[in-house]
Amino acid sequence: MLPISMFNIKTLSRGLYLSNNFLSGSIPKEVGMLVNLAVLSLSTNNLSGVLPEELGNCQLLAVLELDGNSFQGPIPSFLSKLKGLEFLNLSCNSFSGAIPQELGLLNELQELYLQENNLSGHIPMVIENLTHLYKLDISYNNIEGVVPEKGVFNNASGILLVGNKGLCGGIPELHLPECSIQHDKKYSPMLLKLAIPFVSTIFFLGIIFLAFLIPKWKRKLTRNSRTNSLPKGRLPKVSYSDLAEATEAFAPSNLIGAGKYSRVYKGVLLFKEEDNSNQEAHTVAVKVFDLQQLGSSKSFMAECEALRLIRHRNLIRNITCCSTIDYSGNDFKALVFDYIPNGNLSRWLHPEIDDDLALSPLNLTQRLNIAIDIADALNYLHHNCQPSVIHCDLKPSNILLREDLSACVGDFGLAKLLPDPVTKSLVASESSIGIRGSIGYVPPEYGEGGPVSTTGDVYSFGVLLLEMFTGKNPTEYMFKDGLTLHNFVQMAYPKRVMDIVDPNLFALNVIESNAFNRMCECLVSILNIGLTCSKQSPVERMSMEHVAIQLHKIRDVYLRK
């Protein structure tokens, strides 16, 4: 059972991760005491009962994972109190009743998983108004009626509806039957006969009413058109002096990273709360661009453009930007991000002897979770963004790890927005100016002057995946005279993969034979994806959507055995 004492830690703010255990019983009402909690993960346990209403007190929750249990009853409407919720997974339970209309109030929601329950009724039309929602799975329920066509429902790859026999309508790509007038059996012929004259009268009176109001509305719309075009949420404004003070005048002791175009400093910024005059301190990462370096201004603009469009829990969150002049009158450009405390993936895969962080080797499950986080992020960029975003510089040093070792993809300085057919030729010609990416991760077609594409990101991901599980950097001295990391793995695949994988995977403890066999099967499946993604020909590579699906399946099989 879940110990009640666990929920008395009111200061717990990061996350409570209890997935993949054998916990039973119900969630105690004391969960409502965790008012500062950001992540609650209780998936794949034996929990049951109804969700306590006190869960609605955890209003800072961004991620709620309750899938793979035996929770019952209707999906509670009090979940609408969790205004900052971005990820909600209630799948594989025994929830019943209709999908509550109140879920339409979760304006920050990005992913919603309700599959494999006993839900019935119609899809609430308000769901299509969730502008950040890009993934919805309601498959294998008893839902019927009209499928909306706006918002997430306008992207066939973003929704899963299979296993619901009574659905109709939707966009053509869903291949659902058309909705007929008789589809909703709630309305009898007699009721329709009574309703038609009534509706006709209301319609006639409505026309007269509108005739008086339309001129007034037109004047009001004209006055408000400029105001409505502004974004609802504004980025907090920061000045050069704010950033200088936050980083102690960009002190070398606060330098946490450097690249070709920029340096990154750790700092503490004070932000004013919207509803009062109080200031709250936030630890941030300040990325300062070296404007003396040719191409840095372009990198700043590219990153601003990409970050303006994207929003995903596995992508670094941009807090604000600053474009001004410094105390000497020189141009100054910087981006401010959330500070990610565990550094980048490269430090974990290839720790330096003098590294100030004492990093223990990542085990198989941790590496697989990180790979899935990266795949989910790229799947979002490629298939759920409008327009699609190509990262162009995927490598371990651009993957940041949070305290719970969940990953987020950063550094969009080389990113490109996938153009529409009219402007494709412009990107093709621009890509020939210089090779985008880092040595070892750049797809071969870029070196031949080919245009940037999503398949280029797939190649980089494939190399990264092979590196994560072999521990070999693709730029190591051993890779010369035609030998690449891809070829190195290919020669050992599949019978000798255990000879080439990172020995740190086994360094933590003695592994029993059954567990060893499970690990071997898992690694063979993972390396197969890495090899397929890093193939020479772009057309032979997988899509990131397919990659993400396969990696999730591999993890499910590995953890359930």
DSSP 213-226: HHHHHHHHHHHHHH
Adjacent-strand bridge partners of 282:
269
Residue 180 CA: distances (Å) to CA of 21, 100, 145, 288: 47, 25, 10, 59
287 in a labelled binding site: yes
What gap in Å lies between CA 392 and CA 123, rounded to an integer?
38
pLDDT tens by residue, 483-539: 999 999 999 999 999 999 998 887 655 566 678 888 999 999 999 999 999 999 999
What gap in Å lies between CA 406 and CA 373, rounded to an integer?
7
Nearest to 412 by CA among 377, 450, 463: 377
What gap in Å lies between CA 18 and CA 15, rounded to an integer?
10
Residue 41 tokens read as 């993960």
Please say whether the dihedral angle defined by the alpha carbons of residues 19, 22, 24 and 30, taken in this order, is positive or negative.
negative
Per-residue pLDDT tens digits of the chain, which is 561 residues long: 777 767 766 666 677 878 777 788 999 998 888 888 888 888 888 899 999 999 999 988 988 999 889 999 999 999 999 999 999 999 989 999 999 999 999 999 998 999 889 999 999 999 999 988 988 999 889 999 999 999 999 887 788 888 888 899 999 888 888 887 654 444 444 444 444 555 455 555 555 555 544 444 333 333 233 222 223 344 678 889 999 999 999 999 999 888 888 899 999 988 765 555 567 788 899 999 999 888 888 888 888 888 877 888 899 988 888 999 989 889 999 999 989 889 999 999 998 755 656 678 899 999 999 999 999 999 999 988 878 899 999 999 999 998 888 999 998 888 888 764 333 433 443 443 356 778 889 999 988 888 899 999 999 999 999 999 999 999 888 888 889 999 999 999 999 999 999 988 876 555 666 788 889 999 999 999 999 999 999 999 999 999 999 999 999 888 876
Q: In what order do the strands lie in the sheet with 94-98?
A: 24-25, 46-49, 70-74, 94-98, 118-121, 142-147, 166-169
| Secondary structure of residue 321 in the 3-state scheme | strand
Whether the upstream peptide bond of residue 451 has omega within 30° of 0, thus cis, is no
Tokens 């990093």 identify what position?
A: 359
Phi-psi region of 49 (alpha: psi -120 to 50; beta: other; left: phi over 0): left
Domains and CATH numbers, the chain: 4-183 (3.80.10.10), 235-339 (3.30.200.20), 343-561 (1.10.510.10)
338 in Cβ contact with 410 (< 8 Å)? no
DSSP 471-516: ---TTSTTS-TT--HHHHHHHHTTTTHHHHS-GGGSSSSPPPHHHH
Please say whether the dihedral angle defined by the alpha carbons of residues 144, 145, 150 and 154, taken in this order, is positive or negative.
positive
pLDDT tens by residue, 101-146: 999 999 999 989 998 899 999 999 999 999 889 889 998 899 999 9
387 in Cβ contact with 420 (< 8 Å)? yes
pLDDT at 298: 85
Q: How many CA atoms lie within 13 A of 48 on its CB side?
A: 5
Residue 201 tokens read as 């009268």
The DSSP element (H or E) to which 166 belongs, if any, is strand 166-169
DSSP summary character for residue 45? S
Residue 363 CA: distances (Å) to CA of 332, 335, 359, 397: 42, 33, 12, 19
Residue 514 tokens read as 């059954």
Phi-psi region of 26 (alpha: psi -120 to 50; beta: other; left: phi over 0): beta
53 in Cβ contact with 76 (< 8 Å)? yes
Residue 290 tokens read as 């070296």
Residue 112 tokens read as 């919603």
Cβ count near 139 (within 10 Å):
17
Largest CA distance in the chain: 84
Residue 554 tokens read as 């591999």
Give me Rg for the CA atoms of the chain: 26
Beta strands at 255-258 and 262-272: parallel, antiparallel or unpaired = antiparallel
Burial group, residue 305, by CB count within 10 angstroms (0-12, 13-18, 19+): middle
Q: Among all residues, which ones are annotated catalytic?
A: 393
pLDDT tens by residue, 266-290: 999 887 655 555 677 888 999 999 9
